[in-house]
Structure 1
Amino acid sequence: MDVTATSPYVTQASATKSRVRQTDLRSRGEPFVWVLGGTLVFGIVMIVGFLVLVAWNGIATFIPEPIAVVTTTNGTVIAGEPSRTDVFKPDDNTLGALSPDVRAAISQNGGLAGRTLYRVGNFDLYGEDFRWVTDFDVKTVSYPKDMVYVERLEWGPFIGAVKAITIENQVIDGLKLDDAQFVKAHDEARARWARIHEIERNEIGAVNAKVDRARLSVRKAELDSGRDSPAYEHAEAQFEQVSADSHSAYDRLTAEVQELRAINDRSSVTFVDIGGREKAVPLASIVRAYAANDLGPLEKVGVYLSRWGEFLADEPREANTEGGVFPAIFGTLAMTLLMVVAVAPFGVITALYLREYAKQGRLVSFVRISVNNLAGVPSIVYGVFGLGFFAYVLGGSIDRLFYSENLPNPTFGTGGLLWAALTLALLTVPVVIVATEEALAAVPRSMREGSLACGASKWQTIRNIVLPRALPGVMTGIILAMARGAGEVAPLMLVGVVKLAPNLPVDGIFPYVHLERSFMHLGFHIFDVGFQSRNSEAGKPMVFVTTVLLITLVAVMNAVAIVVRNRLKRRFVGSQF
């Protein structure tokens, strides 16, 4: 009988090989590492792609474009800036009116045809800002050098040619927009317009505010002491004196405004559109005018930088689709700083109590869970709470106690900068509390024990040992709060943000800081221009450029906070034991 002997080593190797083959893929980490890495890369690509898209469309908004003069097959002539191109599918009626060659070309292209959207401007003449031109309707396209692009204070841009330039009631033949004489006259006219704006906005506003304060003093004396009291008579006499002085100042300022306007009315530019219709534009109403098809590289850069300067430093016009956004920049920055001032101490104090003083138990755990859940409450709910509690309850009480003479017109009993900042402080306080608690927990226990062993009290230990070393973590929470609060829009729509704020929260009128005033915000400005403007096509470029500005503003504020946090980290590096 044959007996085949099997080596034990061979058997063991076969068993090991079998076990390797049967190993579950889920027990190996490499595939999941690749999945996690791929997910990270995908997220980074999406973020970078979003930033590139916004930056590309926003930064290119102010680049001056050439003006095309398009002649169509039916003899219609239009002039405008090419805005964007698109493809569409013509309907049967449109195809039936085309020649066989054009229909064949469209059929070969899958039934699709191209078209271009031109910004034709001249809304006061045409009743529209943009016009589509299909590719099969285009006969010729030219770029005449005499076509000018005019940015006006009203009615949007004008596109056409210069017919006549009048300066001081004299028509000057042969004068061009880039001649020194025209540039000087335009600068002087714009300076007079700025002076008129300054008088009407600030100086006359200050006179009216002075009269209003005197009037309210009379009302307050009447409410406090009655009409027969000496206080009322004194207040009424002061009001009469202030009114007389104010009338004199008002007449002087009004006379100056009328004189400046009369001078500006003597200078104008007469333009003619591509169809031959004329339009006289006062020289002071021209913000910027240039021959779009005759600009050199340096001149294009000048126009581009001039538009950026206007965007950052001036007020909006034309339903926020043109002009600047300085009030929105100021309002966003002021609201965010006020929010930080409110949320930082409240969040830090709450975290200190929960971590250092409160007895750990079910109640503290419930409070922590509630704080974490607050971070998931929809922001519009905070807006409703801010309107109901801050504006109506707290603000209404303040009005009744300190501003009764203003009633029924509310002072603090309506939306304003202060209530908006406090509302967003409530929205972001959970972030600060959680970050501060984590920072406090990260301070080594040995440092607390060493301080207590040296005779320091618990508060002295917290103030001199724990808090300084937890500040970098606290700054992290504040950075996250700023990033979220600066971009919130929904609650602000209920507690103070407006489409156009006539006055800034800080000005030269006593008491100089007006926290009760409504304000503009970059986030709401984006919403308003993109979805509430008269023409969405005209507002689309402003949406992108305002988004770029908002991202930049948040990044700058966060960068400053990060620099402070890093300095705090370096200050205490190596001090732990």
Structure 2
Amino acid sequence: MNNLNKWFKSGSPWVWLSAGGVTLSLISVVGLLLLIASNGLSYFWPSQLHQFEMLDVEGTPSTVIGEIYDVESIPAEQLIHTGIDVKGAEFVERYLIKTGNRELVNLDFRWIAAPLIQQQSQPKDLVVIERRTNGNFYGFIEQVYMDGKVVELSQLNRFMDRVDDLQDEIFELQKTDIGAINYDLERIRLKSRKAEIDGELTPQLTAKFAAQTKQLKDEYLTLESKLNKLRDEVQRDKIVVRSMGGEKVEINLEQVIHISFNNQLNMLEKIGMFFAQIGNFIFAEPREANTEGGVFPAIFGTVLMVLLMTVIVAPLGVVAAIYLHEYAGNNAFTKLLRIAVINLAGVPSIVYGVFGLGFFVYMVGGSLDQIFYPESLPSPTFGSPGVLWSALTLAILTLPVVIVSTEEGLARIPASMRHGSLALGATKAETLWRIILPIASPAIMTGIILAIARAAGEVAPLMLVGVVKMAPTLPLDGNFPFLHLERKFMHLGFHIYDVGFQSPNVEAARPLVYATALLLVTIIVALNMTAVSIRNRLREKYRSLEH
């Protein structure tokens, strides 16, 4: 009994209890990440294509072609009302098949019960066609046409490469050249409107604007003619595909992104296609209500917003902490400020969103529009949600974290170091800049790391101050001032919410939720590891000052 009392008094049980808690937490985190990774990465693996010969309860034969997305066992009694003969089985397997072919059937997915399957095969010539619209098409390629002439199927890859090059040229022409002309036309219109508001619109200036507009429109017509020729050229080639119901469908190669004979791929080809699809997911734009395509605009918006938030919150938090710890007296007002800072950390994030919408967007943004952009009204420039207001809102949300962390770092520095520096003739400002801040820099970086971790995953306030389901253009482009902080943007956190809960195609969206969540976690970890690396370098650099 005495030994047990000594063991408890030594503190060893609490050490083991803490170690067990940390171990369980690590196991839970690793398990969650493995679950997200397995479900997310499996989405990119090229699945086998199956053909099911079916016989329904009325004896009518049919064929189903597609990918097996899920398999589950259900009680046989659930199928009694359907008239399916379960042959006395207690449980029956059923398959969730992605059949695509939206122009022929209403749903992308269907459940089929195993007792209805007469034969299951994996034909080598079965093909999956990824399209820009209407999702995937599954079937058998019957004919390939080039310039209206039937050609060999073996030449399909060459035609696809040609179409891809033309599509890239069309995209570049639309986004860069024609986009720049549209931007310049809008700038001329705004300049004319501003001169009219200021009373400076003279006949000479009107003639100048008209000449510039005419020149741009002439260039636009030239580019439009070139664009139409490219579109005509890319629409010449097509393929005829036979669906699972026997219908023959013509698919223009302009609408085709990728054609794959999955059942003919060996392991190395599948691995190559796996990484290619991951790359496409990261760098492509979303399609079909975010249920297909990539998430590059959401990645760009998330990283830009977090970096901009960090640039804003770091100096504000550090300056506030320095004032509270180094300059403010220990009086009732200072105590009240510290209580307010601590309480701000517990305010629900949606409240910050409402504040950001009311103060930043409507008040500050609306005032900026009235002062600097009257020619654009009633269309707002800064008076609408955008990436700048999102970054400022999250900066206020994470400001208490940076202040508290920085102040704790300042408090750990011995007063003797301050006194010694002042005794040697340094001013208080020099002491802060050369001694105090370098030593406290690891604590400052810790606050910034915590701020990044929280801000990157926030969604609720962003829904009010800048994030949207689909952003037509990135906040960064080739038009002056290049970085457009007034534009709305996409965010990975909101993308997860939108795909998971607002998608019209739930089954197709499910693997995308896991894939996007894995990507968001990866980005947060990358940002945090970068900040941790900087903190460790600063700690090693200024370790001598601490001693």
1:115-130 pair list within 5 angstroms: 115-130=94-109
Letter of the structure 2 residue corresponding to residue 210 of structure 1:
D
Aligned match of 1:279: 249
Aligned match of 1:12: none
SS at structure 2 position matched to 1:104: coil
* Cα deviation, residue 270, structure 1: 1.1
SS at structure 2 position matched to 1:430: helix
Aligned match of 2:69: 83
CA contact under 8 A between 1:214 and 1:238: conserved in structure 2? no
* Cα deviation, residue 33, structure 1: 4.2
Could you report, residue by residue, the CA deviation over 1:523-575 in whole angstroms, capped at 9, with x for unpaired residues? 11111111111201111111111111111111111111111111111111233
CA contact under 8 A between 1:65 and 1:292: conserved in structure 2? yes
CA contact under 8 A between 1:210 and 1:242: conserved in structure 2? no
Larger Rg belongs to: 1
CA contact under 8 A between 2:439 and 2:543: conserved in structure 1? no
Aligned match of 1:73: 55
CA contact under 8 A between 2:475 and 2:484: conserved in structure 1? yes
- 1:220 and 2:194 aligned: yes
User: Given the alignment, which residue of 470, 473, 480 partners 2:440?
Assistant: 470
1:189-228 pair list within 5 angstroms: 189-225=163-199
User: Given the alignment, which residue of 446, 451, 454 partners 2:421?
Assistant: 451
* Cα deviation, residue 274, structure 1: 1.4
Letter of the structure 1 residue corresponding to residue 250 of structure 2:
A
CA contact under 8 A between 1:95 and 1:103: conserved in structure 2? no
1:466 and 1:248 map into 2 onto residues whose CA distance is 63
Aligned match of 1:149: 128
Aligned match of 2:88: 104
Could you report, residue by residue, the CA deviation over 1:329-372 in whole angstroms, capped at 9, with x for unpaired residues? 11111101100010000000000000000001222112111111
2:188 and 2:212 map into 1 onto residues whose CA distance is 7
- 1:182 and 2:141 aligned: no
* Cα deviation, residue 284, structure 1: 2.5
Shift in CA distance, 329/234, structure 1 to aligned 2, threshold 3 Å: farther
* Cα deviation, residue 132, structure 1: 0.3
2:389 and 2:240 map into 1 onto residues whose CA distance is 49
User: Given the alignment, which residue of 387, 402, 419 partners 2:372?
Assistant: 402
SS at structure 1 position matched to 2:18: helix
Shift in CA distance, 22/519, structure 1 to aligned 2, threshold 3 Å: closer
Q: Structure 2 unaligned segments of length 5 or more: list them.
A: none
Could you report, residue by residue, the CA deviation over 1:490-546 in whole angstroms, capped at 9, with x for unpaired residues? 111101111111111110112212110001111111111111112011111111111
SS at structure 2 position matched to 1:569: helix
Letter of the structure 2 residue corresponding to residue 88 of structure 1:
I
CA contact under 8 A between 1:149 and 1:292: conserved in structure 2? yes
1:218-257 pair list within 5 angstroms: 218-225=192-199, 229=200, 231-257=201-227
CA contact under 8 A between 1:149 and 1:290: conserved in structure 2? yes
SS at structure 2 position matched to 1:79: strand
1:534-549 pair list within 5 angstroms: 534-549=504-519
Q: Structure 1 unaligned segments of length 5 or more: list them.
A: 1-16, 107-111
1:221 and 1:285 map into 2 onto residues whose CA distance is 46
Could you report, residue by residue, the CA deviation over 1:160-181 in whole angstroms, capped at 9, with x for unpaired residues? 11011112221114x23xxxx3
* Cα deviation, residue 380, structure 1: 0.6
Aligned match of 2:36: 54
Letter of the structure 1 residue corresponding to residue 49 of structure 2:
I
Q: TM-score if structure 1 supplies the norm length?
A: 0.91
* Cα deviation, residue 28, structure 1: 7.6
* Cα deviation, residue 156, structure 1: 0.3
CA contact under 8 A between 2:76 and 2:89: conserved in structure 1? no
1:92 and 1:281 map into 2 onto residues whose CA distance is 40
User: Given the alignment, which residue of 116, 129, 148 partners 1:137?
Assistant: 116
CA contact under 8 A between 1:68 and 1:79: conserved in structure 2? yes
Letter of the structure 1 residue corresponding to residue 545 of structure 2:
S
| Alignment root-mean-square deviation, CA | 1.9
- 1:307 and 2:307 aligned: no
1:500 and 1:21 map into 2 onto residues whose CA distance is 67
Letter of the structure 2 residue corresponding to residue 82 of structure 1:
I
SS at structure 2 position matched to 1:342: helix
* Cα deviation, residue 396, structure 1: 0.1
* Cα deviation, residue 21, structure 1: 10
Letter of the structure 1 residue corresponding to residue 424 of structure 2:
C
Letter of the structure 1 residue corresponding to residue 477 of structure 2:
D
Could you report, residue by residue, the CA deviation over 1:135-178 in whole angstroms, capped at 9, with x for unpaired residues? 222222111111001100010001111011112221114x23xx
Could you report, residue by residue, the CA deviation over 1:1-38 in whole angstroms, capped at 9, with x for unpaired residues? xxxxxxxxxxxxxxxx8xx5996998685544444333
Could you report, residue by residue, the CA deviation over 1:411-448 in whole angstroms, capped at 9, with x for unpaired residues? 00010010000000000011100110011112222211
Could you report, residue by residue, the CA deviation over 1:385-426 in whole angstroms, capped at 9, with x for unpaired residues? 101000000000000000001001000001001000000000
SS at structure 2 position matched to 1:139: strand
When structure 1 is superposed on structure 2, of 300-309 and 143-152 the one drifting more is 300-309
2:163 and 2:314 map into 1 onto residues whose CA distance is 49
Letter of the structure 2 residue corresponding to residue 142 of structure 1:
S
1:322-337 pair list within 5 angstroms: 322-337=292-307
Give the percent of matched residue pairs that are identical in Structure 1 and Structure 2: 45
1:478 and 1:124 map into 2 onto residues whose CA distance is 51
CA contact under 8 A between 1:217 and 1:235: conserved in structure 2? no
Shift in CA distance, 451/390, structure 1 to aligned 2, threshold 3 Å: same
CA contact under 8 A between 1:214 and 1:235: conserved in structure 2? no
1:65 and 1:335 map into 2 onto residues whose CA distance is 36
User: Given the alignment, which residue of 430, 434, 446 partners 2:404?
Assistant: 434
Letter of the structure 2 residue corresponding to residue 39 of structure 1:
G
Letter of the structure 2 residue corresponding to residue 485 of structure 1:
A
